[in-house]
Amino acid sequence: MPDDSQLHPLPVMHHPLAFDMIDAVLHAPQMNPGAYNHFALAPMSGALGAEITGIDLGDLSDAAMAEIERALTNHLVLAFRGQDLAPADQIAFARRLGPVEPWPYAKPMDGFPELTELISGPVDINNFGGSWHTDSSTFDQPPAYTTLYCVSCPPVGGDTSWANQYLAWETLSPEMREALRGMRLLHSVARSFGDHSRSKGSADVTTTPVSVPPEHEDLENLHPVARTHPVTGRTALYVNAGFSSNFEGRSETESRPLMAALMAHGATPEFTCRLRWQPGTLVVWDNRCTVHYAHNDYRGQPRVMRRAVVTGERPF
C-alpha cells in the first residue's frame, strides 16, 4: 500500500457543493522536467505529455535515444514536431524502443507490414480510436508503445487526448485500491470488435477497414486491473472501455457498473493532456500507464496517419 503522503502531494481541496471532486493532482515531472541535451521539451499539462522540438527522429544517436526514453518514462506521451519521416524511418524509430510487429486487424501499408495507415475520408462518420482506450489490451503482450505519425490532417479538429493512469490509480480511495489489487479483467476481441465492428461495412464507415482474422475471433486475455509499470515500478489503472468484458469470476452485468466507474474516473479532465496535430508530428506514448481518445470532430475532412506499435511484456 503506498504511503498516503505520496498520493496527495498538494493540499486537498473539496468543493462544498459537488460530490466526487478529486483531490488536486500533479504528475511531478510536468513541473520539473529536468535537463535534456539533445532537444527542447515543453510539458503539455500538469498531468502528462511533452512537446519536443530540435531533434530529427530519422537521425538519432544512442545518447539522444537514451534521453528520449528518459523523457518518455517521465512524461508518458511525447510529441515530436516538425519531423519528415518516410515509412521506413518510423519503423526504425519504433524498433529502437522494442520489437515491432504487424497489427493483424487492418491491411498494412504496401511494402511495410509493420505500418497501419489510418485514413479518414469525406464520407466517414466513425473514426479510429474514438473512445477512451489503451491499444490492443486483448493481446497476451499488448503494445508497450504506440507511434503515430501525422501525414496530413485538417487545419482544426481531430485532436488526440491522453490520460495518466498512474494518477487514476493513486486518486482512488485506499479501500478501492485494496479491493482492486488481485482482481483481473477479461479483455476480449469479441467485445472490442463485436457489435460495432467497422468491418461490417456501409457507406458511412471509415476508409481504414478493420476486420478480425478467424484465428483472432476468440482471442481474450485476463490482465490485472492494477498494473505494475516495469520501468518505474508504479501502479497504473488498467481498464479498457471497449475491450474489457468482465472481471474474473463475475458476470458482465455484475462487472459493468464498476468498469464504467473506473473508466470514467480514468478519464478525469485533470489527468489529461490534448494534442493538436500538424503534418510532421510524431507522437509516441506508453500504453501501460495511459489511455487515449481520438476526437471525432472533423467530419468530411481528409486525414492520414501512420501507426507502428512496439510489443510489450505480459501485464503484471
All three cell numbers of 41: 521539451
51 vs 135 by CB, closer to Fe ion: 135
Residue from 51, 67, 135, 286 binding Fe ion (CB under 5 A): 135
> What's CA 165's distance to the chain center, in Å?
10
Cβ nearer to Fe ion, comparing 129 with 315: 129
Chain residue at closest Cβ approach to Fe ion: 129
- For residue 282, list its beta bridge partners: 80, 149
Query: Nearer to Fe ion by C-beta: 134 or 221?
Result: 134
Instruction: Work out the number of other CB atoms within 10 angstroms of the CB of residue 250.
Output: 15
Window of 75-83, 126-134, 148-156, 242-250 that interacts with Fe ion by CB under 5 A: 126-134
Nearer to Fe ion, 177 or 227 (CB): 227
CB 29, min distance to Fe ion, A: 23
Count residues near Fe ion (CB under 5 A).
Answer: 2
* Cβ at position 175, least distance to Fe ion in Å: 32
User: What does the alpha-carbon distance between residue 284 and residue 79 come to, in Å, rounded to a whole number?
Assistant: 7
Neighbour-count burial for 122-155, b at 16+ CB within 10 Å, e otherwise: eebeebbbebbbbbbbbbeebbbbbbbbbeebee
The binding track of 151-190 with respect to Fe ion, each residue x by CB under 5 A or -, is ----------------------------------------
- What CA–CA distance (Å, rounded) separates 160 from 277? 8
Neighbouring C-beta atoms of residue 99, cutoff 10 Å: 14
The window from 11-19, 94-102, 121-129, 225-233 that contacts Fe ion (CB under 5 A) reads 121-129
- The end-to-end CA distance of the chain, in Å, is 16
- What is the nearest approach in angstroms of Fe ion to the Cβ of residue 14? 34
C-beta separation of 306 from 139 below 8 A: no
**What is the closest distance, in whole angstroms, from the C-beta atom of residue 21 to Fe ion in the complex?**
29
Torsion of CA 251, 256, 257, 263, to 10 degrees: 140
Identify residues 47-76 at the interface with Fe ion (CB under 5 A).
none
CB of 168 to Fe ion, least distance (A): 17
Q: Which of 29, 43, 46, 129 binds Fe ion (CB under 5 A)?
A: 129
> Which residue matches cell numbers 524509430?
93
The residue among 43 and 129 lying less far from Fe ion, judged by its C-beta, is 129
Residue 4: all three cell numbers together = 498516503
The set of catalytic residues is 133, 135, 292, 307
| Region binding Fe ion by CB under 5 A among candidate stretches 37-45, 124-132, 222-230, 238-246 | 124-132
Cα(221)–Cα(246) distance, integer angstroms: 11
Stretch that binds Fe ion, among 115-123, 128-136, 166-174, 273-281 (CB under 5 A): 128-136
**Residue nearer to Fe ion on the CB measure, 25 or 212:** 212
Q: Which three cell numbers stand for residue 121?
A: 475520408
**Least distance CB 134 / Fe ion (angstroms):** 7
* CA 180 to the chain's CA centroid: 21
What is d(CA 296, CA 158) in angstroms, rounded to the nearest whole number?
Answer: 6
Contact region with Fe ion (CB under 5 A), list: 26-34, 110-118, 123-131, 152-160: 123-131
User: Using CB under 5 A as the criterion, which residues of the chain lie in contact with Fe ion when the complex forms?
Assistant: 129, 135
